[in-house]
Structure 1
Amino acid sequence: MNFNKLMLGICFLGMVATAQKVKKEELFTIDNKPYYSDEFVRVYKKNLDLVKDESQKDLDQYLELFIGYKLKINKAYKLGLEKGGAYHQELNQYRDQLAKGYMTDTKVTKELVDEAYQRSLKEIRASHILILADENAVPADTLKAWNKIQEVYKKAAAGEDFDKLAEQYSQDPSAKENKGDLGYFSAFRMVYPFENAAYKTAKGQVSKPFRTRFGYHILKVDDVRDNRGEVSVAHIMVLSPADADEATKAAAKQKIFDVYQKLQQGENFESLAKQFSDDKSSSSKGGVLNRFGSGQLSSEEFENVAFSLSKDKPLSEPFQSAFGWHIVKFIDRYPVKTLAEMQAELESKVSKDDRSKLIAESMSEKLHKKYNVKRNDKMYKAVKATVTDDYYKSEWKKPNLDNFKDKLLTVKDSVYPASNFVNYLFIQQKAGHTEKPIGALVDKVYAKYEDEQLNSYYKGDLEKEFPEFAAVMDEYRDGLLLFDLMEKEIWQRSKTDTLGLKAYFEQNKANYSWKNRADVVIASSTSQDVIKEARKMLQKDAAADAIKQKLNVKDKVNVMTTSGTFEEGNDALPKGMKFEKGVSEIIKDGDYYFVVKVNKVMPAGPKTLDEAKGKVVNDYQQSLEENWVKDLRKEFTVVVNRPNFEELKKEMKQ
């Protein structure tokens, strides 16, 4: 199930917004089950800016919507939908996701976010030398790698050529070709220890040896530059898929260079984008794209060209990306986002990379102080004595668990028997631990076990610790039920009830109509003389390619053509075009002259059910839901406490 599908009608889901304090009074009952004013106010405040219909902001109207919502939830419980396995699985998944925001040390998180932001203001170009050393390597191999990196470091620090040292010594497979050059990068592009070394090393200097999970490194900072920020551009794109045949590719290339020639002749970029760009999401806006920064598009070629443009050089030459051919026009450049603008993005990234270990360590330390944690040392010693060196080979066998039923760990009011830790040890031996001696390894595994139990206890206690967490879980629980109920009662019915859908369509045919349409060939040019020639050729039934071949010369594109079936109002059609069969008079629209050959006219008229299927299904669903809610009001007894509601309205208007 997709979480986004739960945003139904009025948005009853999401994080709880801060609402004004109100008395918790009974607002209404459904079959004698009370619903209270505090929940109503919280949900109303949270969704106030999300609703588009102004009537839904009216408290009386909103109460009707809220009651309808609760009626549906009551129906879901009446049908037993809360007993479904899929429902419980999704609810647990959501709780796990929501809990992540409560399972971190906010102070440490803030420090790491601030650091990441400051680093994101710069991009570093560095080269590195790697000597491989696995995280779990035996001490002898680790020492060997350490000695090697020290040897290389001394050579680099003495001024030997870093590129040559990388070629000779680096165990990064790419070093033979790139001499260790990693290109430009910023925060989060490298593992955290590597990033730390890069940002703490001055330009032109070599870092001291440091370790990551890959091994030992030294790096040289070759350059530091400011982050490029964001850029706003418009583009004209001609699709040219990689798997297209050669003729199609050649035609796409010819078309983009024809458009470029027209731009060089002084024709309007926005008009050409509307007529000829295959990017339909931007062509109607003159090719304008949402602004973007480095790494935000799926084409590095496109980004590099866009960032190379400026007010002094506003137009690119045609270039090719994985999607096709482009011409890009510069609009504006924007500085790097502020910390406030990047806050959520940075927090998410911090939680997913090596920085998260620092947060977890800090959180565990806090939980140890928060809860009364005790270890039964006698029982721990007994468990420890059972672990042998067979553990390193994953051949250690569990002792008899009957001998380890006594408690080993106590967290507040929860007791964990020693047998739990024995089972945990047994599973962990497959992780390939190499810590020696064996006693030190057991201590390390126990520390991890204790931290996990602490975090698990805290996670299970979130509803008691944080009322807002409990409120969000209640809302999400209801939202999942509502989704399942709507799927069962409305959505599936609208898809499978073909007779009902057809009857609804017949009753509402007037709502589903075509505008005038025409099958046309359009020729456009900035030259009236050229378009006169094109008109003569169209009158003689000349094909579009023939017109272009005759009127376009080698170094100049005089005319462009477009063919297809278009509905009235389409941007590709010149304004003032008559929907009449035959060749039109010359039409002037802006800087362009057009002539249109109308091969066939399809007048405005009703669509068939197949032609309007998507919108009909959507409208039919809304109709079913409206009637269904009316039926629910008959099935359940709703009693509104009017005095309390009127008092609440007065409070909320203050």
Structure 2
Amino acid sequence: MNTRNLVVLLIFIGYFSGNAQNKKDVLLTINSNPIYSSDFTKVFNKNLDLVVEESQKNVAGYLDLFIDYKLKITEAYAQELDKDKQYINEFKKYQDQLAKKYIYDKRIISKLVVEAYDRSLEEINADHILVLSNLNDSPSDTLKAYSKIKEAHIKAINGENFTSLVKEYSEEPGAKKSKGNLGYFTAFQMVYPFENTAYSTKVGEISKITRTTFGYHILKINERREKKPKINVSHIMIFSNKNKKFENPEERINELYAMIMQGEPFENVAKQFSEDKNTGIKGGQLKTFGPGDLKAPKFEDAAYSIQNNGEILAPIQSAFGWHIIRLNEKFSIPSFEEQKDDIEKKVKGGARALVVTQAINNKIKKKYGYKEGVSCVPYFNNYVSDSILNRKWTFTPISLSENQILFTIGDHDATYIDFSLYLRDNQKTIKKYMNKESLLLDLYVRFKNETLENYFKERLEIENQEYATIIDDYRNGLLVYDVMNKNIWQVAKTDSTGLELFYEKTKNNYKWKKRLDVDIYSSSDESITKQVQILLNEGEELTNIKKQINSDGKINVITVSDIFEIDQSELPKGLVAERGVSGIKANDGFYTVVKIKEVIEPNLKEFKEVRGTVISNFQTEIEKKWMESLHQKYDVEINNKALKKLKKKLDN
């Protein structure tokens, strides 16, 4: 979900407009337009837990928020933001997503979910041969590709070496290196037709020829095995990029690994030194994950290579940095009920959607009545020029005398004219085709699917009150987001002069606390830390101290050099802010001594250092003035009798 949608749902969840009501239910009017008590009640009850201020958790206090919200909606319509193209597209996208909840055939979905779960319990290892063939290739090119895969299939069935056939026939990129082997895969990891073929072929057998969007495939199934379970691990991480604290990340991770091998508790080292702060404070523990969940193959492969709980792997490098990994626990495979919801989402959004679409179309046709008309191909093959293959077709209107019905759904006729407009509006978005007839047929299928769904959705807001409520809530929420974005957030970001003036006016609010430029030395052995303290008092520098203390390949002390505010967690608690060498502080199993090289007194932060915070505060000031202007622009009249009634009902 994008940021815009998230803000809309968080801020405006729960609001929806009332239906026709009696005049006595009017709570207030904005420029004589009525707002009903039932509107307020529904918003108040739904959003009460989101309200932070205690003073706003009663009717009188919340009324101000409610009026402000209604004023923003009113202003959004006044600025015609409901006609903005981006708004229309965003609203339609959400409308499409929501409508699917009401349009899906539950029996088909349930069958596909059970199938996917059963398959997910097993992983398949297979070799395959691919002959490339685009779905819109010319008939002659398609026949050529099919003949080639057919020839390979016959040889494979007759027992010829499959690896040799891969070298001879496969057009898959990288086939020579992989020898056609796909590794292990399970449900949802391959396109659906390919997955169907794999799971319907026995070990050691050659599959039937299978057509996908990539071309023609044949498979040889090598092995089936139970799917790997989810695991839980802890890690200590050092980022790959250089920073002020140390120069060599690999050297640092090896130092930490050496400490653990010398007996330091894994959790203590993670808390003290891991740069993944989110897990470091928990002793390095990650959330439980399964194969593919982390999108970090090197890390996952390393984690799954650990056999025993508690075993610690030597440092490995991933795309994100260096890690020391410890296996905490291996889990059993979740039950069907535990995975059902997640699998259902994948079924609705993945390659199985074609099966779902067919079921949806059948449901709509049955509900409203459907009748097929004339074929689109003969007329449109002549009407549309070959230039559409290059997305450069010039639209010409179809006359009413030529117009015919392609199909009828309910009381709606889909005609030649409708399809011609669809071609005009969508030709820029279509993929590359070699054959015009294939293009027209594919676009016609899309046109028919969308027409049937749109017919259903247009009636959904009338026929289903729950849907109408939710969609109206989102409609208004999106408008409020847009009106605030236009009048507040974007103004704050683009008014550079106003922003700088605001900073100058309020810069005393942005100050550094007292800061310390320090070298921090930590060891789990108090006697080691005392040695460091003595060396520091003798004037030794960091580099020499590390050489003396970390001798014979042992990592006895870990160092950090940086500038920290006095209350940052990196500094020991109770540290006195004076230049020189500190006393020894104990924390999380480590003993720390600090050399304070410089004490930096509190001073103003430069604008560039606090730009984000200044923008946020600038937005708050702009919003305050903008809301004052809306209250002046619109006449708000409150019905005190209705308000008193609400207080009696909701405040008790």
For residue 28 of structure 1, what is the amino acid of its counterpart? L
**Residue 206 (str. 1) matches residue 218 (str. 2):** no
Task: Indicate the residue corresponding to 2:471 in structure 1.
Answer: 473
Q: Aligned-pair distance for 1:149? A: 4.5
CA–CA distance in structure 1, aligned partners of residues 644 and 247 of structure 2: 72
CA–CA distance in structure 1, aligned partners of residues 232 and 468 of structure 2: 43
Task: Indicate the residue corresponding to 1:527 in structure 2.
Answer: 525
- Preserved CA contact (<8 Å) 1:384 1:442: no
**Residue 563 (str. 1) matches residue 564 (str. 2):** no
Secondary structure of residue in 2 paired with 1:317: strand
- Preserved CA contact (<8 Å) 1:551 1:559: yes
Q: Aligned-pair distance for 1:403? A: 6.8
- Preserved CA contact (<8 Å) 2:9 2:474: no
Give structure 1 stretches of 5+ with no counterpart: none
For residue 350 of structure 2, what is the amino acid of its counterpart? D
Q: Aligned-pair distance for 1:345? A: 4.4
Of all paired residues, the percent bearing the same amino acid is 39
After the TM superposition, which residues 394-409 of structure 1 pair with which residues of structure 2 at under 5 Å, given as runs? Answer: 401-402=398-399, 404-409=401-406
For residue 357 of structure 1, what is the amino acid of its counterpart? L
- Preserved CA contact (<8 Å) 2:309 2:328: no
CA–CA distance in structure 1, aligned partners of residues 383 and 632 of structure 2: 72
CA–CA distance in structure 1, aligned partners of residues 104 and 518 of structure 2: 62
**TM-score, normalising length: structure 1:** 0.82
CA–CA distance in structure 2, aligned partners of residues 345 and 289 of structure 1: 21
**Residue 7 (str. 1) matches residue 45 (str. 2):** no
Task: Indicate the residue corresponding to 1:176 in structure 2.
Answer: 176
Q: Tell me which moved more, 175-184 or 340-349.
A: 340-349
Give structure 2 stretches of 5+ with no counterpart: none
CA–CA distance in structure 2, aligned partners of residues 490 and 290 of structure 1: 38
- Preserved CA contact (<8 Å) 2:503 2:614: no
For residue 634 of structure 2, what is the amino acid of its counterpart? F
- C-alpha distance 615-115 of structure 1, shift in aligned 2 (>3 A): same
Secondary structure of residue in 2 paired with 1:234: strand
Task: Indicate the residue corresponding to 1:166 in structure 2.
Answer: 166
**Residue 254 (str. 1) matches residue 251 (str. 2):** yes
For residue 256 of structure 2, what is the amino acid of its counterpart? V
- C-alpha distance 347-4 of structure 1, shift in aligned 2 (>3 A): farther
For residue 324 of structure 1, what is the amino acid of its counterpart? G
Q: Aligned-pair distance for 1:451? A: 4.4
**Residue 64 (str. 1) matches residue 61 (str. 2):** no
- Preserved CA contact (<8 Å) 1:269 1:286: yes
Task: Indicate the residue corresponding to 1:225 in structure 2.
Answer: 225
Task: Indicate the residue corresponding to 2:290 in structure 1.
Answer: 293
After the TM superposition, which residues 277-426 of structure 1 pair with which residues of structure 2 at under 5 Å, given as runs? Answer: 277-309=274-306, 312-337=309-334, 342=339, 345-374=342-371, 384=378, 387=381, 401-402=398-399, 404-409=401-406, 410-421=408-419
- Preserved CA contact (<8 Å) 1:51 1:57: yes
Secondary structure of residue in 2 paired with 1:316: strand
Secondary structure of residue in 1 paired with 2:532: helix
- Preserved CA contact (<8 Å) 1:404 1:417: no
Q: Say which structure, 1 or 2, has more relative contact order (CA 8 Å, 6+ apart).
A: 2
Task: Indicate the residue corresponding to 1:105 in structure 2.
Answer: 105
Secondary structure of residue in 2 paired with 1:278: coil
Secondary structure of residue in 2 paired with 1:292: coil
Q: Aligned-pair distance for 1:470? A: 3.2
Q: Aligned-pair distance for 1:78? A: 3.8
Task: Indicate the residue corresponding to 1:618 in structure 2.
Answer: 616
Secondary structure of residue in 2 paired with 1:195: helix
CA–CA distance in structure 2, aligned partners of residues 164 and 249 of structure 1: 52
- C-alpha distance 173-633 of structure 1, shift in aligned 2 (>3 A): closer
CA–CA distance in structure 2, aligned partners of residues 435 and 117 of structure 1: 39
Task: Indicate the residue corresponding to 1:599 in structure 2.
Answer: 597
CA–CA distance in structure 1, aligned partners of residues 381 and 623 of structure 2: 64
Q: Aligned-pair distance for 1:260? A: 0.8
- C-alpha distance 134-406 of structure 1, shift in aligned 2 (>3 A): closer
Task: Indicate the residue corresponding to 1:36 in structure 2.
Answer: 36
Give deviations 1:554-591, integer Å, cap 9, x for gaps. 33111221111122343322333222211122333343
CA–CA distance in structure 2, aligned partners of residues 491 and 408 of structure 1: 49
Task: Quote the RMSD (CA, aligned, Å).
Answer: 4.4
For residue 546 of structure 1, what is the amino acid of its counterpart? N
Q: Tell me which moved more, 71-80 or 644-653.
A: 644-653
Task: Indicate the residue corresponding to 1:539 in structure 2.
Answer: 537
- Preserved CA contact (<8 Å) 2:137 2:434: no
- C-alpha distance 126-39 of structure 1, shift in aligned 2 (>3 A): farther
- C-alpha distance 12-565 of structure 1, shift in aligned 2 (>3 A): same
**TM-score, normalising length: structure 2:** 0.82
Q: Aligned-pair distance for 1:226? A: 3.2
Task: Indicate the residue corresponding to 1:576 in structure 2.
Answer: 574
Q: Aligned-pair distance for 1:444? A: 8.7
- Preserved CA contact (<8 Å) 1:16 1:472: yes
